């Protein structure tokens, strides 16, 4: 039987909530826009199920006022008399801006660990229990709400307090929900929570819930894009950050009005890339679409030139922050003496997923060295760039060869600002030598020139070899020794060190003896031979004419057959590994952070104007770390420029993979961005990432590793242990 027509004159529906007298708790109902266009006196069956998904949420592709609208409870009673597919009810809530209709309530989904499933009704291993909950600006304790909902699911109706004592709630990233924590501002359309017994250790990292893939896949190198691939792989270890993009929670925060961002384009491209890596079960992903957006929006990374991974991370995180910033966006400078108040005000203005997870805080103090006036300022940081200790102080290619026989040369520390004259004085003082020192420039195992005493070490771009020589020396009494190994008829390679031989006479036997005295310390002890007659069969000596630019010193070359050399020195002999290396220090990440916070003097062009003194004065500057973020990124400042040349500091910096402690914070390493020098100014980036085990991500290649090599670490990615 067809229902009687509804007189449209009695229908008091409201389009787009034009009623200004809405009240907290009022109910409104979503209907198809076509329902509001009917002729007077007609009736229609309400077809509106297509508007919502399986969880009752309105599909974002449908727009209010275009595809659907809301009617009052009174009007809905009239509509539903003719039948309807689904009732889409929404409530009016109170916010700081007044009463508003909550069009898409937050969906809270509870997951229960397998060991605890037997206490819930109708549960299995893949259980999820959903309860829609309306977002409000201020709620009672979130834990009270959570347990109040869960209480209705229990077979054993235990008291709420007893339930709290036995079970606890945490987010998928292992973050525990504190009893006093409030959902003051819910920043996600969907919240996932895990219920588990308190008897378990909850510090282990949890894999993503309901994920289809592991996210453990390579990225194709598009042409010198290893810097981008390694940076993305390192960010891909941070669960809460990645979850935000994979579940597309970022969409509600896209800020299209911010002129400093990309109007959401980079955030969308980043999310698309991560979703492809995590949800499509691929072993390798092509990051071309993301690179195009990154290049278009930043104006950098457009071509296929080699770039710096730190600069890439800076652009990605900064643009994501600007795209997703939902703070008050005030341009007023924050001046606050209390660090907690400063941080509170800073986040109110600059709140985003980036500031919440990656930003820390330092205190910068400037003290006038004349009047003692101290100016303090709190500043945020997204990652910490720490200097390598002694970087500007040392030239790392200085070697000292002793006059005495059977003494192995050493690699020594030499301050970069020294002249050659100062280097000689330091050697004499440090090694208590009464001999003179001869310093030469050496490149590719060839002597370039004898260095003048006025030469600055900072201007020497080659290795520097220093030799002990007599005070009254003469070129006729010395000869350079080069050693070559004949591997094949047309191929030879060098011993990789040039010795200076002091000759008492010019007999062949004496020269053999002097050569042996220099190389004998490197020979395997079991293979030492004695006497000229024995040695002359091991290598052949050839003399060359006196060379230019080396003060007429002669040259002698000792040629070894490959088999003879291997018998004496062993396979894969490397002389640098056999030298005494005095440049090696037990430097670690703590040394770098300590140097970052060390007081420095600003003077000359760096002098700062002092209002109290009414002039520019020298200042002491001190940085102190006040607050560290959940995700702590440390950039080792390995690249510096000297006289137009870029130099990499290859000195080893040790760092803990677990239990990095700074103040009251404890961190574990989740990823490492590595940089390798390939020669001729070229380099290559890879990443080590930690899931349950460590993996090496080398562009499209993914390989499990047992040992983490720290020598080429460039950027360290830590996560705070809660």
- DSSP letters, 68-79, are EEEEEHHHHHHH
Chain centre distance of CA 77: 57
Count of Cβ atoms closer than 10 Å to residue 396 Cβ: 17
The pTM is what? Answer: 0.50
| Nearest-angstrom CA–CA distance, 8 and 12 | 8
Rank 104-108, 127-131, 397-401 by mean pLDDT and report only the highest. 397-401
Q: What is the pLDDT of residue 575?
A: 72
Q: Is 210 left (phi over 0), alpha (psi -120 to 50) or beta?
A: left
Rank 151-160, 328-337, 403-412 by mean pLDDT and report only the highest. 403-412
Residue with tokens 């457009």: 302
Can you tell me the mean pLDDT for 237-264? 88
Q: What is the pLDDT of residue 36?
A: 73
Nearest alpha carbon to residue 398 among 417, 415, 416, 411: 411
| Nearest-angstrom CA–CA distance, 337 and 619 | 20
Residue 212: is its pLDDT beyond 60?
A: no
Nearest alpha carbon to residue 518 among 408, 389, 367, 400: 408
Tokens of 554: 């002669």
Query: Rounded to the nearest 5°, which phi and psi values hold at 122?
Result: 55, 45
Q: What is the pLDDT of residue 211?
A: 36
Residue 144: band (very low, low, confident or very high) from pLDDT cuts 50, 70, 90: low
How do strand 554-561 and strand 478-488 relate by DSSP bridges? Answer: parallel
Contacts of 319 (CB under 8 A, 6+ apart): 261, 262, 266, 267, 297, 298
List 642's β-bridge partners, or say none.
Answer: 645
Strands (E), 76-179: 89-95, 98-101, 106-112, 129-133, 167-170
Residue 655: is its pLDDT beyond 90?
A: yes
Q: What is the pLDDT of residue 554?
A: 75
Q: Greater confidence, 126 or 141?
A: 141
Q: Greater confidence, 438 or 412?
A: 438
| Nearest-angstrom CA–CA distance, 529 and 519 | 12
Residue 431: is its pLDDT beyond 50?
A: yes
Tokens of 480: 């350079």
Are 293 and 266 in contact by the 8 Å Cβ rule? The answer is yes
| Nearest-angstrom CA–CA distance, 569 and 567 | 6
Query: In order of start, what are the domains of the chain with their CATH numbers?
Result: 8-101 (3.30.2230.10), 106-197 (3.10.20.620), 398-581 (no CATH)
Using DSSP's 3-state secondary structure scheme, residue 601 falls into strand
Q: Greater confidence, 2 or 632?
A: 632
Using DSSP's 3-state secondary structure scheme, residue 358 falls into helix
Q: Which of 157-166, 267-276, 280-289 is predicted least confidently?
A: 157-166
| Nearest-angstrom CA–CA distance, 319 and 333 | 21
Alpha carbons within 13 angstroms on the beta-carbon side of residue 552 total: 5
Contacts of 707 (CB under 8 A, 6+ apart): none
Mean pLDDT over all residues of the chain? 75
Residue 585: band (very low, low, confident or very high) from pLDDT cuts 50, 70, 90: low
Residue 520: band (very low, low, confident or very high) from pLDDT cuts 50, 70, 90: confident
Nearest alpha carbon to residue 363 among 169, 623, 184: 623
| Nearest-angstrom CA–CA distance, 188 and 324 | 13
Instruction: Encode 279-330 in three state secondary structure.
Output: HCCCCEECCHHHHHHHHHHHCCCCCCCCCCHHHHHHHHHHHHHHHHCCCCCC
Helix or strand holding residue 640 (H, E): strand 639-642
Residue 604: is its pLDDT beyond 90?
A: no
Residue 414: is its pLDDT beyond 80?
A: yes
| Nearest-angstrom CA–CA distance, 393 and 618 | 22
Segment 471-478 long-range contacts (CB within 8 Å, at least 24 positions apart):
471/435, 471/436, 473/436, 473/438, 475/551, 475/552, 475/553, 475/554, 477/502, 477/503, 478/502, 478/503, 478/553
| Nearest-angstrom CA–CA distance, 316 and 228 | 10
Chain centre distance of CA 666: 17
Residue with tokens 């290049």: 295
Q: Greater confidence, 718 or 202?
A: 718
Chain centre distance of CA 126: 34
Residue 301 CB burial class (10 angstroms; 0-12, 13-18, ≥19): buried
Query: Rounded to the nearest 5°, which phi and psi values hold at 350?
Result: -120, 30
Q: What is the pLDDT of residue 40?
A: 40
Chain centre distance of CA 85: 51
Rank 106-120, 208-222, 247-261 by mean pLDDT and report only the highest. 247-261
User: pLDDT tens digits for 676-713?
Assistant: 876 555 788 999 999 889 999 998 899 999 989 999 99
Residue 500 CB burial class (10 angstroms; 0-12, 13-18, ≥19): buried
Query: Rounded to the nearest 5°, which phi and psi values hold at 198?
Result: -75, -5
What's the alpha-carbon Rg for the chain, to the nearest Å?
36
- DSSP letters, 179-242, are TT---SS---SEEEEEEEETTS---SPPPPTT-SS-S--EE---SS-HHHHHHHHHHTT-HHHH
Residue 141: is its pLDDT beyond 50?
A: no
Q: Which of 145-149, 219-223, 393-397 is predicted least confidently?
A: 145-149
Tokens of 347: 């986040």
| Nearest-angstrom CA–CA distance, 427 and 467 | 10
Are 174 and 202 in contact by the 8 Å Cβ rule? The answer is yes
Residue 159: band (very low, low, confident or very high) from pLDDT cuts 50, 70, 90: low
Residue 199: band (very low, low, confident or very high) from pLDDT cuts 50, 70, 90: very low
The alpha helices in 456-588, defined as continuous H runs, are: 508-519, 532-535, 562-569, 575-578
Are 14 and 70 in contact by the 8 Å Cβ rule? The answer is yes
DSSP, res 5:
P
Count of Cβ atoms closer than 10 Å to residue 448 Cβ: 15
């Amino acid at each position: 039987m067809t229902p009687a027509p509804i007189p449209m004159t009695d229908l008091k529906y409201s389009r787009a909530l034009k009623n200004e007298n809405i009240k907290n708790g009022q109910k409104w109902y979503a209907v198809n826009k076509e329902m509001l266009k009917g002729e007077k006196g007609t009736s229609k069956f309400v077809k509106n199920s297509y508007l919502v998904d399986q969880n009752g949420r309105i599909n974002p592709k449908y727009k209010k006022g275009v595809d659907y609208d809301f009617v009052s409870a009174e009007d809905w009673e009239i509509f539903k008399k003719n039948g309807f597919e689904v009732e889409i009810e929404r409530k009016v809530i109170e916010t700081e801006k007044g009463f508003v209709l909550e069009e898409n309530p937050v969906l809270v989904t509870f997951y229960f660990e397998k060991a605890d499933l037997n206490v819930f009704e109708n549960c299995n291993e893949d259980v999820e229990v959903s309860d829609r909950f309306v977002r409000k600006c201020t709620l009672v304790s979130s834990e009270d709400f959570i347990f109040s909902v869960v209480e209705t699911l229990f077979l054993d109706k235990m008291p709420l307090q007893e339930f709290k004592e036995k079970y606890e709630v945490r987010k998928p990233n292992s973050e525990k929900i504190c009893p006093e924590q409030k959902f003051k501002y819910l920043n996600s359309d969907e919240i996932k929570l895990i219920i588990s017994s308190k008897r378990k250790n909850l510090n282990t990292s949890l894999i993503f819930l309901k994920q289809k893939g592991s996210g453990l896949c390579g990225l194709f190198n598009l042409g010198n894009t290893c810097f981008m691939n390694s940076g993305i792989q390192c960010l891909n270890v941070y669960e809460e950050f990645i979850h935000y993009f994979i579940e597309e929670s970022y969409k509600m925060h896209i800020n299209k009005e911010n002129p400093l961002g990309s109007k959401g384009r980079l955030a969308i491209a980043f999310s698309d890339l991560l979703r492809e890596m995590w949800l499509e079960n691929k072993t390798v992903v092509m990051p071309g679409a993301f690179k195009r957006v990154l290049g278009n929006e930043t104006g950098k990374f457009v071509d296929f030139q080699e770039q710096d991974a730190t600069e890439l991370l800076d652009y990605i995180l900064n643009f994501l922050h600007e795209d997703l910033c939902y703070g008050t966006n005030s341009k007023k400078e924050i001046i606050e003496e209390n660090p907690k108040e400063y941080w509170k005000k800073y986040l109110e203005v600059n709140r985003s997923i980036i500031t919440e997870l990656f930003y820390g805080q330092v205190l910068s103090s400037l003290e006038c060295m004349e009047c003692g006036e101290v100016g303090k300022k709190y500043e945020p940081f997204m990652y910490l760039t720490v200097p390598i200790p002694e970087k500007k102080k040392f030239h790392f290619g200085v070697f000292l060869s002793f006059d005495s026989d059977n003494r192995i040369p050493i690699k020594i520390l030499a301050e970069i600002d020294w002249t050659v004259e100062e280097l000689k004085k330091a050697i004499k003082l440090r090694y208590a030598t009464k001999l003179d020192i001869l310093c030469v420039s050496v490149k590719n195992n060839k002597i370039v020139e004898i260095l003048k005493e006025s030469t600055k070490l900072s201007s020497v771009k080659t290795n520097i070899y220093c030799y002990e020589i007599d005070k009254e020396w003469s070129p006729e009494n010395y000869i350079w020794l080069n050693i070559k190994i004949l591997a094949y008829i047309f191929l030879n390679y060098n011993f990789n060190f040039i010795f200076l031989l002091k000759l008492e006479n010019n007999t062949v036997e004496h020269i053999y003896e002097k050569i042996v005295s220099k190389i004998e310390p490197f020979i395997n002890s079991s293979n030492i031979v004695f006497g000229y007659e024995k040695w002359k069969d091991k290598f052949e000596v050839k003399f060359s004419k006196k060379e230019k630019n080396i003060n007429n010193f002669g040259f002698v070359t000792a040629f070894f057959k490959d088999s003879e050399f291997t018998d004496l020195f062993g396979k894969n002999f490397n002389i640098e590994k056999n030298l005494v290396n005095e440049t090696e220090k037990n430097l670690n990440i703590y040394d770098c952070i300590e140097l970052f916070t060390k007081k420095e003097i600003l003077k000359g062009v760096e002098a700062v104007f002092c209002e109290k003194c009414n002039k520019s004065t020298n200042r002491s500057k001190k940085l102190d770390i006040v607050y560290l973020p959940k995700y702590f990124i440390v950039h080792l400042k390995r690249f510096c420029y000297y006289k137009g040349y870029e130099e990499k500091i290859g000195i080893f910096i040790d760092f803990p993979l677990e239990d990095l402690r700074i103040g009251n914070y404890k961190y574990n390493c989740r990823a490492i961005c590595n940089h390798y020098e390939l020669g001729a100014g070229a380099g290559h980036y890879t990443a080590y990432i930690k899931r349950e085990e460590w993996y090496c991500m080398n562009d499209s290649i993914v390989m499990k590793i047992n040992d983490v090599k720290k020598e080429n670490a460039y950027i360290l990615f830590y996560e705070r242990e809660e």
